[in-house]
Amino acid sequence: MITVTNASLKYDNRFIFRDLRFTLPTGKIGAILGSNGRGKTSLLKAIVGLQKLSGGSIQATGSIGYVAQKTEITFSYTVLDIVVMGRAPHVKMFRVPSVEDYEIARKTLIDLRLDHLVDRPYSRLSGGERQLVMIARALASGCRILVLDEPTSALDLANQLVIFQSLQKVAKKSGLTVLMTTHAPQQVSLMCDYVLLMHNAEESEWGEVDSTLNAENLERLYGIPMREVKVSETEKTFVPLISTTEI
Amino acid sequence: MEPGDAKLGYFRSNLTWLYWALVAALALSILIALGQGRYEIDFYSVSLILLENIATVSESWKPVDERIVELIRLPRIIVAGIAGAGLAVAGAALQGIFKNPLVGPQIIGVSSGAAFGGAFAILVSESQVLLVSLAFVFGLLAIALVYIVSRQNGRASILMLVLSGIVISAFFSALVSLTKFVADPDDKLPAIVFWLMGSFASASYEKVSLIGLPVVFGIVVIYLLRFQLNVLSLGDEQAQSLGLEVEKIRWIVLAAIALVSAAVVAAAGVIGWVGLVIPHFSRMLCGPDHKVLIPVSALVGAIYLIHVDTVARTISPAEIPVGIITALIGAPIFAYLLRKASDKGWSAE
């Protein structure tokens, strides 16, 4: 569970966001939507502990794993080397990962169907594979909460689906709580339980996806016309109505 | 893994073989170096002289041969080997901490800091222990200053890091000049100048212990933190989000680096470029994992400096300071690496 209470962040006396409040229950998937510069990444970093808040507090039950938007790694470590680094919180100072730590890393890779990449250098992976390896590294830490910053922003549609299906699978299987930022409302409507809409510094909306995510809210969020589209009997999605003739 | 992958290390899948090859190369280098010099001793005699220490061998060599091998050349070779191993490991650890394969103890200012500490110690006292201590204190101070100056908003860009290194080095070089300026020109000044040039000529068994203890201790500390170094080499943000005690571990490693560099500087003066070139080369052999990179760098560094020192004392009748040769070899290699990596490691991030 993640509980954010009156969280505020200020840069140069200007509020990025103010008095944010929401609770994401255990085992649920939450999404944060908002235009660029709304402070989505800062909020995630504050939850992870990489960013100080100007006010308010954040409580998380259980350890948090973090996957950044894009992860550059200078040295060419192999996938297994990198995933085992997820065990860092369990490795004492002056010690190295145990046989069990390596087993956990391998098992996580198998769970995400990445076992064929074990010995490959990270630098040789595709964008989708890298993102999955980063998710594996976070999961290998044994975290109960997974926080992801735009996990699919650099990926093609097929790879976006792979990431989301993997996330949904592990969330269901192990009761993981997932919170992510995204620019894709259509994905939120299909896979998330809760959504935070960051309209501006003062106003935001949190609620269950079914009741909170609608075309009207999204139009307000992005300032462009949106339309609701039915995917199946039970599922709906949203598409922007962008036309060059209107511009 | 593709065969012959430089980034992963050409011999990554044959590590046992690599270790044995390096150990054999080190042993061979020592034997060759023991025979080389103005007074040449053949390989066979050298082996027998050494063997005599642990087994009974009929003496087929002149007594002077044994004295040269065991009292003059052996301590010098041991000091050179320890210095090479120490500088290479210090460089490998620095490159990990700053997540950049293009930094070394010299670029980061620790050598100049240690040089000032040592020069000042010579000025005020005769004590070797004070020399090592002050070299260590000022080496660490230099590293700390570079670290503080280069950081903006909690992170150090590589450009800032290198520029800070230049600034801090310049500052300590000025202090070294000041020390020379006030030193007694008949007595202290030659001692400082000779020491600064970097040479193993004054090596003795006393120096072996002087340099050996701190260097081995520093290498052991760095090796024990090999996994933490891997995590740290991902960068602060990743390391922190992976739950590593970033600041604490970084300072322990920095202190170990300063200790190693200072001990080497104290025993042999400023020897540049080893810590930059050797880890880079070692990474090509065994890959970036510090678990293997640290021991491989130590072995390669030792082999390298033993050979460089042999060249330094044999190439001309008058001995050439080692620092000159390592710079002549290191600078062009560095320039090459710089051009090759200019699209990556040196960007503003």
Complex-level ipTM: 0.91
Q: Is the pLDDT of residue B347 over 50?
A: no
Q: Which A-chain residues 73-132 have CB contacts (< 8 A) with chain B? A: 73-78, 81, 85-86, 88-89, 91, 93-97, 119-121, 123
Strands (E), chain B: 151-152, 155-156
Strands (E), chain A: 2-11, 14-24, 29-34, 55-60, 64-67, 145-149, 177-181, 194-198, 204-208, 226-230, 236-240
Nearest to A111 by CA among A162, A171, A188, A170: A170
What pLDDT, on a 0 to 100 scale, did the predictor assign at position A134?
A: 96
For B315, residues 6+ apart whose C-beta sits below 8 A from its C-beta are: none
Q: Is the pLDDT of residue A154 over 90?
A: no
Strand A29-34 relative to strand A194-198, pairing: parallel
DSSP 8-state symbol, B55: S
Strands (E), B73-176: 151-152, 155-156
Nearest to A42 by CA among A67, A72, A17: A17
Q: Chain centroid to CA A47: how far?
A: 12
The answer to whether the Cβ–Cβ distance between A68 and B238 falls below 8 Å is yes
Interface test with A, best of B223, B242, B343 (most A CBs within 10 A): B242
Burial label, B335 (beta-carbon count in 10 A; 0-12, 13-18, 19+): exposed
B249–chain A nearest CA distance, Å: 8
Mean pLDDT for B135-152 is: 87
Q: Whole-angstrom Cα distance, residue B27 to residue B287?
A: 24
Supply angle C-alpha A41, A47, A48, rounded to 5: 90
Q: Quick check: B209 and B329 in contact, CB under 8 A? A: no
Q: Whole-angstrom Cα distance, residue A102 to residue A113?
A: 16
Instruction: Give the helix, strand, coil percentages of chain A, each rounded to 5.
Output: 35, 30, 35
- Residue with structure tokens 């939850």? A47
pLDDT digits (tens, 9 = 90+) for B187-233: 999 989 888 887 888 888 988 988 999 999 999 999 999 999 999 99
For A215, residues 6+ apart whose C-beta sits below 8 A from its C-beta are: A226, A227, A228, A238
What pLDDT, on a 0 to 100 scale, did the predictor assign at position A106?
A: 97
Minimum mean pLDDT range among A27-36, B2-11, B198-207: B2-11
* Beta-ladder partners of A11: A14
Q: Quick check: B272 and B106 in contact, CB under 8 A? A: yes
Q: Is the pLDDT of residue B80 over 60?
A: yes
Mean pLDDT for A195-221 is: 93
How many other C-beta atoms can be found within 10 angstroms of the C-beta atom of residue B316?
9
What pLDDT, on a 0 to 100 scale, did the predictor assign at position B197?
A: 80
What pLDDT, on a 0 to 100 scale, did the predictor assign at position B345?
A: 41
- Residue with structure tokens 């003795």? B204
Q: Is the pLDDT of residue B149 over 50?
A: yes
List of chain B residues whose C-beta atoms are within 8 Å of the C-beta of residue A101: none
Q: What percent of chain B has pLDDT over 90?
A: 54
CA dihedral defined by A195, A198, A203, A208, rounded to 10 degrees? -10
Q: In this structure, what are the phi and psi dihedrals at residue B334, rounded to the nearest 5 degrees?
A: -60, -45
Give me B298's structure tokens: 């130590």
Burial label, A244 (beta-carbon count in 10 A; 0-12, 13-18, 19+): exposed
What pLDDT, on a 0 to 100 scale, did the predictor assign at position B349?
A: 38
The answer to whether the Cβ–Cβ distance between A74 and B291 falls below 8 Å is no
Q: Whole-angstrom Cα distance, residue B122 to residue B118?
A: 6
Q: Quick check: A167 and A198 in contact, CB under 8 A? A: no
What pLDDT, on a 0 to 100 scale, did the predictor assign at position A239?
A: 86
Give me B39's structure tokens: 């007074």
Q: What percent of chain A has pLDDT over 70?
A: 99
- Residue with structure tokens 């269950």? A208
How many other C-beta atoms can be found within 10 angstroms of the C-beta atom of residue B14?
13
Supply angle C-alpha B335, B336, B340, rounded to 5: 115
Supply angle C-alpha A96, A98, A103, rounded to 5: 130
Interface test with A, best of B220, B238, B252, B284 (most A CBs within 10 A): B238
Mean pLDDT for B96-104 is: 83
Mean pLDDT for B287-305 is: 97
Strand, coil or helix: A7: strand
Q: Quick check: B275 and B104 in contact, CB under 8 A? A: yes
For A175, residues 6+ apart whose C-beta sits below 8 A from its C-beta are: A26, A27, A144
Q: What is the 3-state secondary structure (H, E, C) of B235-278?
A: CHHHHHHCCCCHHHHHHHHHHHHHHHHHHHHHHHCCCCCHHHHH
What is the DSSP secondary-structure string of A158-170?
HHHHHHHHHHHHH
CB pairs under 8 A between A and B: 81
Q: How far apart are the first and last CA of chain A?
A: 44
The letter for the amino acid at B222 is I
Q: Quick check: B346 and B223 in contact, CB under 8 A? A: no
The answer to whether the Cβ–Cβ distance between B242 and A49 falls below 8 Å is no
What pLDDT, on a 0 to 100 scale, did the predictor assign at position B158?
A: 65
Write out the H or E segment, with its range, that includes residue A227: strand A226-230
Residues belonging to chain B with any Cβ–Cβ distance to chain A shorter than 8 Å: 1, 5, 7-8, 96, 99-101, 224-228, 230-231, 233-235, 237-245, 248-249, 283, 287-289, 291, 344-345
Q: Quick check: A70 and A154 in contact, CB under 8 A? A: yes
Mean pLDDT for A17-24 is: 95
